[in-house]
């Protein structure tokens, strides 16, 4: 059975009978985990193993684990700083900031891989324009060139740990104040302004081997009337054709208010996202909506998407006991804990 085009969530720390039935449906290809799905490392490892055992090839398992205020698993995992801290260091010590970003990307990814989680939806590639509270300190920097340098280092760390990176939120969420979780943000800039200040980051990161992208639930009204995640212009023309991106496109959560313009029914939202160019659509925190999509989307078979999604499986099996006993992991943890006290510290690693 191939990986289907839907990524869904589950309610608790173990799989219910309904979860098992839904996750074995051919339209499903992945599971996204949240804080409610986690209480301890051992519990998480058992849950992940249970999910992976349901299908062959295994369902993808992802999580939002950026650091700062967006880190789903905390106790038992290293508390990671928001990446804007690396941007602050960059202003005075760019080489050390790149080292910090690389180490944070590796540490985030390797701890998740030690629990057999395939990937985190990271890093944020939005530029901090000083407008968006929902982005805010999740962005590396206000300067696109600095974002590229720090994100490149972060992604190299992720790749070293065996994890594919997902850049978000294309073509850039930082230019609007509204939060797409609760509103329908409208960016009034011209295409050339968006390109120069936001899209350029994605272009350069694609050149650096970015494997996946998540578009924004933002309407760029002078470019296209649809939010980017439902726009074939943004996804097929700009991302695929102009930027040459050949990786996975994940929709953002179809339960967000920013997705409401694509239809009242979740099936309409999912179909529009997939037809616009997404390889996988996320339906989170609404089980009724997820069931509606499964019951009504009908067969969706895209062999190219199957091949793309297979690249998101985690690589480099990581033994947790070996990892936590290693000098490299201990040094990385110490670096994350101590750098804020002394940005000039020795970052040799």
Q: Is 181 a catalytic residue?
A: yes
What is the spatial distance between Cα 185 and Cα 179, in angstroms, rounded to a whole number?
Answer: 7
Tell me the C-alpha distance between 111 and 29, whole Å.
23
CA distance 141 to 129: 9
3-state class of 172 per DSSP? coil
Cα–chain-centroid distance for residue 194?
21
Catalytic residue among 181, 193, 208, 224: 181
Of residues 126, 198, 252, 279, which has the active-site annotation? Answer: 252
Report the C-alpha gap between 319 and 266 in whole angstroms: 39
Sign for the CA dihedral angle at 169, 250, 109, 134 comes to: positive
The full DSSP string for 278-329 is -SEEEE-S-HHHHHHHHHHS-----HHHHHHHHTTS--S---HHHHHHSHHH
User: 252 an active-site residue?
Assistant: yes
Catalytic residue positions, numbered:
181, 252
């Amino acid at each position: 059975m191939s990986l289907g085009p839907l990524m869904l969530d589950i309610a608790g720390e173990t799989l219910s009978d309904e979860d098992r039935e839904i996750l074995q449906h051919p339209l499903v290809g992945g599971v996204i985990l949240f804080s409610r799905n986690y209480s301890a490392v051992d519990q998480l490892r058992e849950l992940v193993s249970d999910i992976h055992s349901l299908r062959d090839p295994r369902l993808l398992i992802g999580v939002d684990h950026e650091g700062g205020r967006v880190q789903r698993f905390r106790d038992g995992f290293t508390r990671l700083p928001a990446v804007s801290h690396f941007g602050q260091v960059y202003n005075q010590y760019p080489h050390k900031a790149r080292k910090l970003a690389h180490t944070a990307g590796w540490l985030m990814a390797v701890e998740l891989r030690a629990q057999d989680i395939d990937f985190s939806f990271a890093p944020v590639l939005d530029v901090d324009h000083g407008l968006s509270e929902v982005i805010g300190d999740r962005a590396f920097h206000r300067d696109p060139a600095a974002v590229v340098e720090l994100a490149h280092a972060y992604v190299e760390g992720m790749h070293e740990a065996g994890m594919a990176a997902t850049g978000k939120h294309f073509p850039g969420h930082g230019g609007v104040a509204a939060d797409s979780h609760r509103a329908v943000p409208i960016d009034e800039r011209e295409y050339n302004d968006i390109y120069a200040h936001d899209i350029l980051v994605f272009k350069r990161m694609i050149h650096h081997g970015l494997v996946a992208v998540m578009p924004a639930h933002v309407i760029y009204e002078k470019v296209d009337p649809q939010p980017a995640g439902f726009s074939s212009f943004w996804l097929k023309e700009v991302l695929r054709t102009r930027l040459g991106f050949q990786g996975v496109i994940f929709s953002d959560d179809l339960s967000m208010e920013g997705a409401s313009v694509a239809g009242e029914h979740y099936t309409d939202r999912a179909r529009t996202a997939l037809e616009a160019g997404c390889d996988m659509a996320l339906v989170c925190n609404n089980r009724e909506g997820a069931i509606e999509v499964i019951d009504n989307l009908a067969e969706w078979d895209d062999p190219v998407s199957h091949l793309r999604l297979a690249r998101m499986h985690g690589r480099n099996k990581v033994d947790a006991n070996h990892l936590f006993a290693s000098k490299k992991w201990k040094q990385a943890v110490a670096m994350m804990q101590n750098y804020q006290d002394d940005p000039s510290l020795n970052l040799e690693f």
